[in-house]
A and B are shown apart, each in its own frame.
Chain A
Amino acid sequence: MEPIKVLTANVDKPNSKSIEVYLEGGGYEAARKALQMKPEEIVQLVKDSELRGRGGAGFPTGNKWGFVPKNAPKPTYLLCNADEAEPGTFKDRVIIEKDPHLLLEGMIIAAYAIASNPMAYIYIRGEFHYGSTVLNKAIEEAQAKGFLGKNIFGSGFDFDITVHRGAGAYICGEETGLIESVEGHRGQPRVKPPFPAVVGVFGGPTVVQNVETLSCVPFIISKGPDWFKSFGTPKNTGPKLYCVSGRVKKPGVYEFPMGVNLKELIYDHCGGIVGDRKLKAVIPGGASAPMLKPDEIDLPLNFDAVMKAGSMLGSAGVIVLDETVCIVDAVWRLSKFFAHESCGQCTPCREGTNWMESILDRLERGEGRQQDADLLLDMADNIGGKSLCALGDAAIGPVISSVKKFRDEYLYHVTNKSCMPGTTRYRRLDMPVAAH
């Protein structure tokens, strides 16, 4: 499968973030076209395109827009989730920094489709300071051209976008955590129901969409759902950005039709493993996805196939671990992240992630116990599906899969009080976790 250039069509052009470059490539024509259509028609087009949310859950976008009640007493909100904080995921950043107008155009169309007079925020993580300046500049440019503001394209549709910077919490990338954060509260997820489509930001109906999802929308309008569906397989359609990181020769963001083969991606497009070493494990969908062993990676990277293989596509952040990586150390690193990012409100996640982290830390220090591997599995079972939001489920993904698939390595740590021969710990102890 060859790489394509749909979402990334502009990113290699010089000064691609400016509106002039975007307009040269036919920018804002889709929005102009959409604003002459009826909102229901747009929702139908998106439904027909079988576009699924790119943030991780893969929920059908058209259905999500259809849930928004019409004529709600409070304003309807469109939130763009640009809180891209999952370790191993860096796809949205490319769009935000290199092609912000694609996102803005997608938001104009999405907003028009869900409500007559919507409000919109782009919630961008605090660390993306440059991204937020790019977005603010892009919004100014769009306002100057009349693409944002009052009476866009003479259609009578008023719409504007506010950029809201986060303050450094992974959990604010969770739908309801993001809503709380936008409201100015401590970023912690809300209990569902009510779902955001009914009661969201400031009590109004709210649609939260990932950057990449919104960026797909203009193409559905301009080229039609059938063209969109020509990428990928049924139910898993459209162009997709894959972020490959870890021990590969050419890490980076790659665009393919949905469903590129993982093995092909690693060995053909990314140049294989650094130093031509052997592959040990692949995390296919960002830090929260369960690991795959080398014999499991011959599969198309789309939502359903990866789910079937026991992992998840998530945000398509492919992390490649080679044979020199100590699995326990890698999982400890991921667990430390989740323990640090747990918001602390619900019991299993607050206590469980921290407990898992300390057990893994103990194993790495050579103080492991025989029962630790089973304890980790049983504890993960007590977290999985019991937590308030999905962070608990995310935290157990790498732990469960690694204990099941690399149990010998765990036991080696217990009996020999060190990592397996040939593997090394990758701890940058001189770099403490930033205090945020």
Chain B
Amino acid sequence: MAKVTIDGTEVEVQEGLNVIEAAKAADVHVPHFCYHPSLTVVGQCRMCLVEVEGMPKLQAGCSTTVKDGMKIHVYNDKVDKARKGQMEFLLINHPLDCPICDKAGECPLQDYSFNYGSVTSRYGEFKRTYPGMDRTPIGPHVVQNMNRCIHCTRCIRFTQEITGTSELAFFKRGASTEVGVFPDTPLDNWMSACVTDICPTGALTTREFRFENRVWNLDSAESVCNGCDVGCNIFIGHRNGQIFRYRPRVNPDVNDHWLCDFGRFSHERYDTDRVVVPKVRNEDDYFGISTWTEALDSIGKAVRATTSEKMAVIASANMTNEEAFLARKLFADRLGVKSIGVMVDAIGPIRMKARTEWLVGTQGAPNFRGVERVLGEGTSKRVDDLLTRGAEGIDVLFITDAAFSERAKDPAVVANLRKAKMLVVLSWDATHPLADSADVVLPSTIHAEKEGTYTNLQGRIQRIFQAFPPKGQTVTDLEIYRRIGAHLFPEAEEFTTADAADLFDDMRATIPAMKNAEEAAPAEAW
């Protein structure tokens, strides 16, 4: 440990830490562009210059490691002058087109220019431009505007050090230095859009989010990506009940600063017609919009007319742990259904770099491990039987999520499931084939509309938060199970409320496999 004084505050930090990290301990922010905690230090932007007592020149905070007794000045006149000088150099050739730039509002260059920029410019020459490089798609997701670039090389280092694909490099030199891709090798790797997150300017933006929304108009909710079982921590950027983007949320143990392209753009699946009211098939085989009361009535009628042996439930790996737990209470404990199963699609493998290890996602849903723990191991064979052999002899088949598997879109599989006398489907996707052929469709929610926890491949339990309320007559899945339960068992206590936090505590107390949940969860995510 080293005792260092940063702007008069004495703090004790680990020896060998650089000044930027050490200053965080003293709650002092050192402005920087090229430094990134997960990339190598190059000391190029010169924005993090600090004064170290006893050294004649200003030192770059990123490349200076602290030693015991060091006295560091992050903010004084000398440093301020230097920092303003660097800011001026960065801005003389920057187009200053913030009003039409997608990065505006979350742009380090913009932020620091408010602190260190000058209102007037001393630059009387022509700005350097890169003709033909101002809206260049350099890959399937990334659009480059070289005029905005400040040559920090974060993107270059990302492709070299994190993905190891090295598509980006410096070309030319001096003032005409440009960041670019090699001919015929586009920036096309599985994490390519991460360069837009780490870019401190609007030089790199995603094709998908370009000109979609101003970032200050977006609300942000902490969540977990549901693309695969890695469970990358994300922020959902949303406005008026529409998801505009996913952004990685730093978690060194899972996804560090990164998010894969598949997960990042997986919200595009929600750009579809939503089921917003219950639909019930009546005696005349008319399948039309209905009410919750009618839907619950017809479910109740069918359930009371049969026995538990003739009922089956296909759960989904997209359910939260709490939903799985309440579904178990309803179907297994109350109704006594034996045939409850959950399955998951194999995808990928999708690689994700945590700070210390590579995680490999192989499942196409976020919570197979959690749901399986709640429902019991080895239940996927039951689902497989239903899908391949058909629901012959089953009176009531509950499908808790139409999107439980890609196989559910196969007409043969739909026909097999349709063999059940009564098919109850929860779905958010109105275009899903199962939502067309069911007897009762209940409008369910996407993961941005509900809260709960997912268990990722490390066994880590991570909470998602509700970004915006469900649409139309849609209610959260927990509320759907509660309504069914309350309808069937009016006296039952467990169906009076459906609070995710209460259910989580209850689940931990009841299910042995979930006992260690809190230890596994990162504290800051709670």
Measured CB to CB, the residues of A under 8 A from B are: 169, 171, 186, 188, 191-193, 339-348, 350-355, 358-359, 362, 369, 371, 375, 379, 381-383, 385-388
Q: Which of B89, B151, B177 has the most CB of A within 10 A?
A: B89
Measured CB to CB, the residues of B under 8 A from A are: 41-47, 49, 56-58, 60, 63, 65, 81-82, 85-86, 88-90, 92-93, 122-125, 128, 150-151, 153, 169-170, 172-177
Q: Is the CB–CB distance between A342 and B46 below 8 Å? A: no
Q: Is the CB–CB distance between A351 and B43 below 8 Å? A: no
Instruction: Give the docked Cα–Cα distance between A340 and B177 (Å).
Output: 11
Q: Is the CB–CB distance between B85 and A381 below 8 Å? A: yes
Q: Is the CB–CB distance between A362 and B174 below 8 Å? A: no
Closest CB of chain A to B200's CB: distance in Å?
Answer: 12
* B contact residues around A171 at 8 Å (CB): 173
* A contact residues around B57 at 8 Å (CB): 385-386
17 pairs of residues in contact across A and B, judged by CB atoms under 8 Å: A186-B170, A193-B65, A343-B173, A344-B151, A345-B153, A345-B170, A347-B89, A348-B46, A348-B85, A350-B175, A353-B175, A355-B123, A359-B125, A375-B122, A379-B85, A381-B85, A382-B88
* B contact residues around A188 at 8 Å (CB): 170
Contacts A186-B170, A350-B89 known; list 11 others, CB within 8 Å. Answer: A171-B173, A191-B43, A193-B63, A342-B173, A344-B170, A347-B90, A351-B93, A352-B89, A371-B122, A375-B122, A388-B44
* A contact residues around B90 at 8 Å (CB): 347, 351
Q: Is the CB–CB distance between B173 and A344 below 8 Å? A: yes
> Closest A-chain residue to B57, C-beta based?
A385
Q: Is the CB–CB distance between A342 and B174 below 8 Å? A: yes
A-B contacts, CB under 8 A, total: 108
* B contact residues around A350 at 8 Å (CB): 89, 151, 174-175, 177
Instruction: Give the docked Cα–Cα distance between A130 and B42 (Å).
Output: 36
Picked from A186, A342, A362, A383, the residue with its CB within 8 Å of the CB of B125 is A362
Known: A186-B170, A353-B174, A354-B174. A348 touches B43 (CB 8 A): no
Instruction: Give the docked Cα–Cα distance between A352 and B44 (Å).
Output: 14
Q: Is the CB–CB distance between B175 and A346 below 8 Å? A: no
Q: Is the CB–CB distance between A358 and B125 below 8 Å? A: yes
> Closest A-chain residue to B94, C-beta based?
A351
Q: Is the CB–CB distance between A347 and B45 below 8 Å? A: yes
Q: Is the CB–CB distance between B92 and A351 below 8 Å? A: yes
Closest CB of chain B to A406's CB: distance in Å?
Answer: 22
Q: Is the CB–CB distance between B46 and A387 below 8 Å? A: yes
Q: Is the CB–CB distance between B174 and A386 below 8 Å? A: no
Q: Is the CB–CB distance between A340 and B89 below 8 Å? A: no
> Closest B-chain residue to A191, C-beta based?
B43
Known: A344-B151, A347-B46, A388-B44. A354 touches B58 (CB 8 A): no
Q: Is the CB–CB distance between A342 and B175 below 8 Å? A: yes
Closest CB of chain A to B33's CB: distance in Å?
Answer: 8
Q: Is the CB–CB distance between A191 and B60 below 8 Å? A: yes
> Closest B-chain residue to A358, C-beta based?
B125
Q: Is the CB–CB distance between A348 and B89 below 8 Å? A: yes
Q: Is the CB–CB distance between A386 and B46 below 8 Å? A: yes
* B contact residues around A191 at 8 Å (CB): 41-43, 60, 63
Closest CB of chain B to A382's CB: distance in Å?
Answer: 3
